[in-house]
Amino acid sequence: MQILSGHRTVSGVMTLIASVLLSARGDGAEQDQVSDKHLTLRNNTAIHYFEPESHLKLARYHYDLGHKIQAFYICEYARKVFGDENFDQVFEKVASVKMTGSPQFEDEAEFSTYCQAHPGSPESYAWGLGEKLKIPMMAAGGADNLIQEAFSKYPQHLIMKSMAARYYLKAQKDEEKALPLYIDLYFHDPHFYDGEFAEGRVKQISSAKKALWWSERIKSGVPFAQLCKAEDNPRVFDVATDYARKQWDKSMAQGMINLLDNDDPSVQASALHTLLAHPDDFEGEVIRGMLKEKDYIKRAMASFLVVKVLGEAEYALLKDNLDCGIDLVQLDTIQALGQMGGPKGVAFLKSHPPAKASDRMKEMWQAAIARE
> What is the pLDDT at residue 27?
53
Same domain for 261 and 167, yes or no, is no
Quote the domain boundaries for residue 272.
210-369
Buried b or exposed e, range 5-41, using 16+ CB within 10 angstroms: ebbbbbeeebeebbbbbbbbeeeeeeeeeeeeebeeb
Do the beta carbons of residue 200 and residue 172 sit within 8 Å?
Answer: no
Interval 90-113 mean pLDDT: 92
Same domain for 296 and 335, yes or no, is yes
Q: Tell me the angle at which helices 175-188 and 198-219 cross, rounded to the nearest 10 degrees.
A: 130
Same domain for 172 and 220, yes or no, is no
Question: How many domains does the chain fold into?
Answer: 3
* Residues paired with residue 193 on neighbouring β-strands, in sequence order: 197
pLDDT digits (tens, 9 = 90+) for 250-275: 999 999 999 999 999 999 999 999 99
**Where residue 255 sits, what CATH number does that domain have?**
1.25.10
Same domain for 248 and 202, yes or no, is no
pLDDT digits (tens, 9 = 90+) for 178-227: 999 999 999 999 999 999 999 999 999 999 999 999 999 989 889 999 99
Same domain for 198 and 214, yes or no, is no
- DSSP states along 55-74: HHHHHHHHHHHT-HHHHHHH
Same domain for 201 and 214, yes or no, is no
Same domain for 156 and 117, yes or no, is yes
Same domain for 235 and 151, yes or no, is no
Within-domain flag for 309: yes
Q: Comparing C-alpha atoms, which of 361, 359, 339 is closest to residue 9?
A: 339
Within-domain flag for 102: no
Same domain for 116 and 169, yes or no, is yes
Same domain for 154 and 288, yes or no, is no
Same domain for 220 and 88, yes or no, is no
Q: Tell me the angle at which helices 68-94 and 175-188 cross, rounded to the nearest 10 degrees.
A: 20
pLDDT digits (tens, 9 = 90+) for 22-38: 333 345 555 555 689 99
pLDDT digits (tens, 9 = 90+) for 162-178: 999 999 999 889 999 99
Question: What are the DSSP E strand ranges found in 6-122?
Answer: none
Within-domain flag for 100: no
Q: Comparing C-alpha atoms, which of 305, 353, 370 is closest to residue 332?
A: 305
- DSSP states along 272-317: HHHHHT-TTSS-HHHHHHHHT-S-HHHHHHHHHHIIIII-GGGGGG
Report the percentage of the chain scoring pLDDT > 90: 77
**Where residue 137 sits, what CATH number does that domain have?**
1.25.40
Within-domain flag for 9: no
Same domain for 25 and 85, yes or no, is yes
Do the beta carbons of residue 272 and residue 244 sit within 8 Å?
Answer: no
Is pLDDT at 325 greater than 80 in this prediction? Answer: yes
